[in-house]
Structures are given as structure tokens and as C-alpha cells.
Amino acid sequence: MSPQMVSICKPTGLADCLFNREGYTFKGWSIDASGNGVLYANKKAVTFGTETKLYAQWEANSYTVHFDANGGSGSMDDQDRTYDDGKALSTCSFVNENSCAWDGWNTKPDGGGTSINSETTENLTAEDGAVFELFAQWKAHVLSKTNAVAATCTKDGNVAYWTCKDCGKRFLDEAGTKPAYDTDIIIKATGHTFDQEVVDVKYLKSVPDCITAAVYYKSCACGEESTDEKDIFTSGEPAGHKWKAATGYAPKTCEICGLEEGQKVNYDPIKNQVFVWTKGSKEPFVLTIKRSQDDVNCFLHYLNTLLDGAEIKVEAKSGSTIITIPAETLEKLSVGEHKITVVFDDWKADFALSIMEPEATPTPTPAADTTPVTGDTMPVVPIVVVMIVALLVVCFVNMKKHRLC
């Protein structure tokens, strides 16, 4: 484009942009090549005080890629693209039971257009707002036949079927239109009567557990084992539960199957336990804790005692569990609530202990002086007070007179 003369006094419309950029749409002009600052629209009336260079600004065109199953099944969302975005195509999620495998994309259903693989990051169209359609391409099966085999008393047979040498899919027809699975192909062995209950490890279905005896498959007189769930029998006794004693964390629990019975162990203070200690007291704080199960052995589970999270030295003894905290330890605590934690090997119990200020001792009232007042003993303070009050009254009266004048 040729330079354009613009008046510094009167706004002049910018010339039409004659530049072209494939895959992009002209959005306006900017004095900055990167587009920072003011964007001037096409034909915008402007004034510039000096020679100014304007840079064309471009916006990448957007388009949509639509995917067609082309004989397959399933669905895929359209993919939104912009020119030069460098994105790979969406992975194909279509399936086709009548083909060997997905074989890429093409711009024509019959594969006569442009082939495009899924990893391409190339631009598919430069047209803004275009819908670019891609058709899934499918690879044909290469089939080989397996002949039918009759079943016997001890060996399964099969019907005739065809297998694709590339993908391994099997079909009941040579055209590859009827998918075949094991249940369609295998003919079960015939002639067996599974009525033998032989306790042998080779017929074992499952070992005994806590509540169920060992389970075996029945067998045929020829030694063939049944694999049918209806041909089973049990033998022996269940293994029984292996119980782990209850703790504060869990009830009595089977170590094998995890079954729980009963209640968890609780550690609670005795009834009427008081959780208050007063500073200045010479008596220690005594805490008695009972175990909800097997309390006679409560002390055997004791480990230590914490005060506000730190281990302290206490006297601990049995009789449930009796914890004695010395008075000198408590005397160091601040007034307020503190946490006592008693740790057992299967639980830890927390208790709140309140530290109180000592009660105030009443101050004795001095006895009244009954000595008669004489001239020599007349108190001086009242006389001074009277003189000060009189002096203040005189000053006040003089001030008022001075204001009136």
C-alpha cells in the first residue's frame, strides 16, 4: 500500500486495507507492531501531528471440524480450531464391528479425497467460520477359517469360525459381519456326569474362611472336573474367627475377615470426679480412670500422662488406673483450663482441668479510737480543709464581680 497523507487539522479517513494474510482477518491498524495501544478501525477518521507508521493487525480465522463415523458407530464432538493453532485432531472414538480398525480420516467418504492422520497439526482450511468435514476410514478384515471340531466327553469342540489376521477379531461368517465370542464358538464337552464329590486339592474352588467351609467342584467318574457353579459341594468346617481384643479405636475385630462385635473400649473418670484445683493448695490432684471392659487390668494398659501435650512425672498405680499429679507441678500452671491426656496402649483419654485462683483472705477492720478529743488533740486536717474551702468561695465571688464590671 502507498503512504497516505493525513491532515493535522481535519480528521481524514484511513484508506481501505489492501493487504491479505491467509487464514487471518484484518482487524484494524495500530502504531505498535504487536498491537498494543489504540486500534484504528478500517476507514477510521484520524489526525496525526507527525509522520506515523501504522501496522495491520490480524485475527486468526476460526473454523469447525466435523467428524463423520462413515459406517461406524458412536459419537464425537465437533472440534473448534483457529488458523495456525497447532492443535492435533481429536482422537477417533468411533467403532466399527465390521472393520478391522480405524484407518485415518479423509475429506471424502469413499477415501478419494485428501487423507489426514490424527496427529496432524496442519491448518485444514483458511476460511473463517467454515465447517470442515472429515470421514472415518475403515480397514477391511483379512480372514482365515478355523474348521469345526466335534466335542468329546473330555474335550471341548468348536464350530467353524473366521479370524482376522490383523486385529484378531473372530466371526461366524466368511463375510465378517457376525462377530463371534467364546460362547458362540466353543462346544462344551459332552457325556460327563458331574456327581462325584472328591475332596482333593485339584478340585478345590475356595479354601475355608471364617464362616464357610472349603468349597470343591464335583467331578466326573473319568476325573474331569466341573467348572459349573451349580456343581459344587462343601467339606470340613469353617476356619473360625481370629479375634483381636477390643480397644479404644475399634470393637473386638476378626483379624481375618474384619468382622466387628461388641463395643469399643472406653476410658472414663469415676463418678463425681472433680476437675478443679486451686492454687496454693498443698494437695495433689488425683484422677481415677475406669476401663469399660476388663477394668481389673486397666492399669496394665497405662503408658504415660501428658499435661498440655508434654509428658509429666506422676504417680500411677492400679485400682482401675489412679493418676496423682504433684501440687508443685500444678502450681506452675496459669489460671484457666488445661488439658490432661492419659495415654494407654489402646487409647488416649483427654480431660479438662481448671486451675483456680486462691480465695482472698478478709482484711481485719481496725478498732475505733475511743479517746476523748481535747484541745491539744484536736485534729489539724479538718481545720485546714475548712480554710481552703473558705478561700475558694472568696475567689469565686471576686471573679463574678470582676465579670460584672
Q: Is residue 17 part of a domain?
A: yes
Does 240 map to a domain?
no
Domain count, the chain: 5
Give, as one character, the DSSP assignment of residue 401: H
- Tens-place pLDDT, residues 318-336: 999 999 999 999 999 999 9
Confidence of residue 7 (pLDDT cuts 50, 70, 90): low
Residue 2 lies in a domain: yes
Q: Residue 78: which pLDDT band, with cuts at 50, 70 and 90? A: very high
205 inside domain: yes
| 286 and 327 both lie in a single domain | yes
Strands 285-291 and 267-269: antiparallel
Last residue of a domain, one of 129, 161, 187: 187
Answer yes or no: do 121 and 175 share one domain.
no
CA distance 303 to 226: 57
Choose the final residue of a domain: 340, 356, 372: 356
> Does residue 403 have a pLDDT over 70?
no
Report yes or no: 353 and 277 within 8 Å, Cβ to Cβ.
yes
The answer to whether residue 350 is domain-embedded is yes
Residue 228 structural domain: 201-235
Is there a single domain that holds both residue 111 and residue 172? no
* Same domain as 50, residue 81: no
Same domain? 56 vs 72: no
d(CA 316, CA 132): 84
Residues 56 and 67 in one domain: no
Split at pLDDT 50, 70, 90, the class of 376 is: very low
Return the percentage of the chain with pLDDT > 70, whole number. Answer: 88
Q: Per residue in 347-377, is it b (16+ CB within 10 Å) or e — as a string?
A: bebebebebeeeeeeeeeeeeeeeeeeeeee
CA angle 18, 24, 29 (to 5 degrees): 50
Closest to 321 in 3D by CA, of 339, 348, 355: 348
Please indicate, yes or no, if residue 99 is contained in any of the structural domains: yes
Residue 380 has pLDDT above 50, yes or no: no
Total number of residues shown for the chain: 405
Whether pLDDT at 48 is above 70: yes
Maximum distance among all Cα pairs of the chain, rounded to whole angstroms: 148
In whole angstroms, give the CA distance from residue 315 to residue 247. Answer: 24
CATH number at residue 304: 2.60.40.10
**Spatial distance between the Cα atoms of 51 and 57, rounded to a whole number of angstroms:** 19
Quickly state the pLDDT bin for 262 (edges 50, 70, 90). Answer: confident
179 and 135 co-located in one domain:
no
Are residues 126 and 81 part of one domain? yes
223 and 178 within one domain: no
Phi, psi values for residue 6, rounded to 5°: -130, 135
Same domain, 3 and 56: yes
Is there a single domain that holds both residue 107 and residue 166?
A: no
Answer whether residue 80 is part of any domain: yes
Output the pTM of the full model: 0.40
Q: Which range has the top average pLDDT, 9-18, 58-67, 365-374, 392-401?
A: 58-67
Q: Which pLDDT does position 385 carry in this prediction? A: 59
- 134 domain residue, yes or no: yes
* CATH, residue 68: 2.60.40
Is the domain of 41 the same as that of 67?
no
